[in-house]
A and B are shown apart, each in its own frame.
Chain A
Amino acid sequence: MTAGHLVLPGTRGRRLVDAIARHRVAAAVAGLLVLPWVMPYQALAVNVLVYGLYAVGFNLLYGYTGLLSFGHAAFFGAGAYGCGIAISRFGVPWPPALIIGTAFAGALGAVIGGLAIRTRGIYFAMVTLALAQCVYAIFYQWVSLTGGENGLRGVNAGRLLLFGWQLDLIDPTTKYYVVLVFVALALWLVSRVLDSPFGAVLEAVRENETRARACGYDVRATKFLSFVLSALVCGLAGSLMAIHLSVVPIDTLNYTTSGLVVMMTLLGGMGTFFGPFIGAGFFVVVEDVTTLYTDHWQLVVGTIFMVFVLFFPRGIWGVILQWLRP
C-alpha cells in the first residue's frame, strides 16, 4: 500500500498542477489579482509585483539559460533611473517613460551582455558584477542628472486621462492594478518565449552547451538574446518601481540588489515559472512582518534562507512540484 502511494501519487493534485502549468500566465494573474487583499498593505503588494517580475527576468537567464549573473541590479536600476529621469527631469508622461526605462535597460543589457557572454562560470559572474559596479559609479557621480547619493526624487506619475478614464496613481489600488497590467504582459511574453523553439534552445544550452553547439545552434547568439531579454524584463520591473515609490534610491543599483534577486530566485525555485514570483513574495512578506516584531529580522531571514539552501535546494515551488508530481 505504501509502495503504491509512492509510485502512483494522487491524481487530483497532479491534475491541478498540470492545469496550472498549462494556463500558467492566467493562474499567475488570478493569484495576483487577489494579492492586495491578503497582503498587510497595498504598497507591499506592489513590491511583490515589482520584485517578482525582477526575479522572473533574472530567472530567464539563470534558471533557464544557466548563466549566473551577479550584476542584475544594473538593469533593474537602469530601468528605474531611465524611467525616473524621463519623468522628473524631462516631464515625460509615465507610459512612454516606462518604455524609455525598459529600452534603456535593454540597451545596457546588450552592452554588458555582449562583453560578459565571452566568459563562463565564475568569470561570467565576476564580469557582470564588475560592470554593474561601473554603472553604479557612473550614476553615483552624475549628481546633476541622477541626484547622486541622495537618490532621484520627483518621479511623480500623478494622474493620466486614458481613453476618457482617469487613472490616478496616487490611489494605492489603482496603482496596484496598473502595475499588474504590465507585469501580466511581461509574464505572458516570458511564457511565450519559453514555450517557443527558442525557449527549448535556452534549456539545451543550460543542459549541455557543447551538445547544443553540435546540434547546430548558435550558442553565443542564444546567450546574448537571453541576456538582453532578461535585462528588458528587469528594466521594466525597475521602471515600475520608480513609478511606485516616486523616488529612485541609489541603493537600487547597489550589488546588494543583485544579491537579493539571486536569493529570491533560489528561495522560490530556480528554473520554474512560478518559483521566482513565489520567492520574491515570500521574501518581501517575511522581511516586512519580522521587522515589526524584532530588530534582528536579518537573523530570521538569513536562517530561513540557509534552511532552504541546505534542505530544499529546489526552492518553495520546486518542493511543491516534487511533492505533487514526483
Chain B
Amino acid sequence: MKTQRTKIGSNRLAGPSRRKILGAAAAGAAAMAASPFWFNIARAAAETIKIGFPVPLTGPYGAEAKQQAACAQIAVDEFNAAGGFNGRMAELLVRDSKLNAGEAATRTLELIEKDKVDCVVGSLSAAVQLAVNNVTKTRKVLYVSISQSDQITAMPDYSRYTFHEALNPHMTAGAVARYVLPKFGKKVVFLTPDYAFGHELVNGYQAVGKELGLQMLDNVLAPIGATDFSTFFPRIQSLHPEVLIVNNFGRDQLNTLKQVASFGLNKQMHIAVSVLLYGQRLAGGPEIFEGVVGGSNYYWRLEDKVSSAKHFNAAYRKRNNGAEPSDYGAYGYAGTYAVLSGIKKAGGTDTEKLIAALEENRYDPYKGTEYFRKCDHQAVQSVLILEAKPKAKMSNQYDVFDIVEIDPADEKNLRSCAEEGHV
C-alpha cells in the first residue's frame, strides 16, 4: 500500500489522469455488471413454456394494453395452477411496444432471439400487429394476434404461423349492419378515422350493406387523434341521415360521443358505434352514451348465458376488487388461453404440431365455443350487439350495457377464403 502511494507520488503528472482513467474503467465495469446482459446467463428452467406478449403499455392505448396483459396473466396462472402441461409451467413475457411498429418489431426480435419464446401473443393497432406478424412468420414462430384487422388473415400478410383471435372489421361491421339497418333505417352517414381500421370497417358495411339496402349518404373522414369533431356536424345534419355510425376508437370515440350529446345530434338521428368500448363508457358516464348501440366481442353480463364468461369474470373480479373485465382485456385472456389449450392438445410446444392442434381445436375461453377457420386462421366467434343503459336502469357502476342481440359464430359472416386470396 505504502509503496503504491510512493509510486503514484513519483509520477505526479501522470497520476491524476491515470486515476481518472481507472475510475472511468471501474465505472464502465460497474455499468456492464449492472446491465441486463448478465440476465442472459441466468436462464429459466428449460421446460418453461414461454409466451411473448408485446403490447403498447405506454401511449394512447395504454389502459387497454394493461388490461390485456393482466387478463393474459390470468390465463397463464390458471394453466399453472392446474399443473401446467406434464409439469411444464407457462410464463408470460410482457414487453412494451409503445404503439410503434418499429419498436414492436425490435421487441419481437428480442423475444424470439434472446428469450426464445415458444410463441407470441398480443398487440393492439393494425400497423403494430402486421409488423409483429412479419417478424414472427419469417422466423417460423407462432403468433396469435388480438387486435382488429382484416389484412392480417388475408394474403399476402397471412402465413400458416398467423392466428387471429380478435374480431375483424368485416365481422364487426356486418353484425352492426344486420342489427341497425332493419331497425333504425337505411340512410347512413359514417364518421370514420382516416386510417386502415376505419377504412376496413366502411368496406365491411358496404359489402354487407348491399343485401340490406344500405344507402351511404356520406363517409366523413376525420384525422386520428382529432379532438374537435363538431366541425363535421353541420355537414352530417344537412344530409338528414337516419343513423350516424361512428367508427372512431379509443379516446376519439369518447370525444365524438361527448360532442354528439352536447350538440343534440343524438336527438335527431340514431347513433351507432362500430366497436363500442366498455372502458370508454366507464370513463364517459351514462348520459353521453345513453341509447347508443354498438358491436363488441364481449361484455361481462354474457355470464347470464355462458358459463365460461362466468368463470372468467370471477377470476378477474377476485384480482381486481370486484371490477369487471373489459372487452379488449378479454382478448388477452382468449389469445393466451387458445395457445395454452392448443399446447395441451398438441402434446408439446413443437410449432408444427401446435398449428395442427389449433386448426382442429374447439375451445371456449370466455364467450362460448370458438375455432380457427382453416384457410385463414380467423377465430370464428359471436359478435355482441350492445345498447348503453340509461342511469336509472343500472344496477351497479359496471352494469352499463344491455346485450340486445348476439350475432352467432358462423363462417358465413366472414369474408370467403377466395376473397382473402387463399387458394
Contact = CB atoms under 8 A, between A and B. Distances in A.
Nearest to B36: A40
Interface stretch (B12-20, B241-249, B294-302, B389-397): B12-20
B102 A245 contact: yes
B57 A295 contact: yes
Nearest to A47: B106
Contacts of B20: 10, 13, 323-324
Contacts of B105: 245-247, 249
Given A43-B109, A156-B138, A247 B130 contact: yes
A5 B139 contact: no
B100 interface: yes
B264 interface: no
A244 to B, nearest CB: 8
Contacts of A246: 105, 134-135, 138
B192 to A, nearest CB: 13
B36 A289 contact: yes
A172 B106 CA distance: 12
Contacts of B134: 153-156, 246-247
Given A150-B130, A151-B127, A170-B139, A291 B114 contact: no
A298 interface: yes
A13 B18 contact: yes
B113 interface: yes
B138 A42 contact: no
Given A245-B102, A247-B131, A252-B102, A12 B12 contact: no
B135 to A, nearest CB: 6
Interface in A262-298: 285, 289, 291-292, 295, 297-298
Contact of A11 (B17, B101, B114, B130): B17
A227 B28 CA distance: 36
Contacts of B35: 38, 40, 285, 289
Interface string B120-133: 00000011001101
Contacts of A245: 102, 105-106, 109, 131, 135
Nearest to B58: A295
A43 B113 CA distance: 8
B84 interface: no
Counting chain A CB atoms within 10 Å of each CB, the highest count among B62, B105, B156 belongs to B105
A150 B17 contact: no
A325 to B, nearest CB: 10
B131 A151 contact: yes
A263 B239 CA distance: 49
B196 A148 contact: yes
A172 B102 contact: no
Contacts, number: 134
Contact of A247 (B18, B101, B196): B101
A41 B40 CA distance: 9
A155 B21 CA distance: 45
A295 B16 CA distance: 41
B17 A153 contact: no
Interface residues of A, number: 48
A246 B137 CA distance: 11
A251 interface: yes
A241 B156 CA distance: 22
A4 interface: yes
B410 interface: no
Nearest to A9: B17
A37 B35 CA distance: 12
A12 B21 contact: yes
Interface string A136-179: 00000000000011110111101000000000001010000000
A245 B12 CA distance: 52
Contacts of B135: 245-247
Contacts of B230: none
Counting chain B CB atoms within 10 Å of each CB, the highest count among A13, A37, A43, A156 belongs to A43
A289 B18 CA distance: 31
A237 interface: no
Nearest to A247: B131
A78 interface: no
A181 interface: no
Contacts of A295: 57-58, 62, 96
A154 B37 contact: no
A16 B22 CA distance: 13
A44 interface: yes
B307 interface: no
Contacts of B15: 10
A8 interface: yes
A122 B58 CA distance: 33
A4 B13 CA distance: 8
Contacts of A241: 102
Contacts of B110: 40-41, 43-44
Contacts of A324: 17, 20
Interface in B132-151: 133-135, 138-139, 151
A37 B40 CA distance: 11
A309 interface: no
A3 interface: no
B13 A150 contact: no
Interface string B89-106: 000000010101110011
Counting chain A CB atoms within 10 Å of each CB, the highest count among B17, B32, B138 belongs to B17
B352 interface: no
A159 B102 CA distance: 22
Contacts of A291: 58, 96, 98
Contacts of B13: 4-5, 8, 10-11
B350 interface: no
Contact of A13 (B17, B57, B133): B17
7 contacts: A12-B21, A40-B37, A40-B110, A170-B138, A246-B105, A246-B138, A291-B96
Given A43-B110, A153-B131, 4 more contacts: A38-B32, A42-B113, A44-B106, A150-B127
Interface of B: 12-18, 20-21, 32, 35-37, 39-40, 57-58, 62, 96, 98, 100-102, 105-106, 109-110, 113-114, 126-127, 130-131, 133-135, 138-139, 151, 156-157, 195-196
Q: Which 8 A-B pairs have CB atoms at the shortest separation, nearest pair first? A: A10-B17, A249-B101, A43-B109, A41-B114, A149-B195, A245-B105, A13-B17, A40-B36
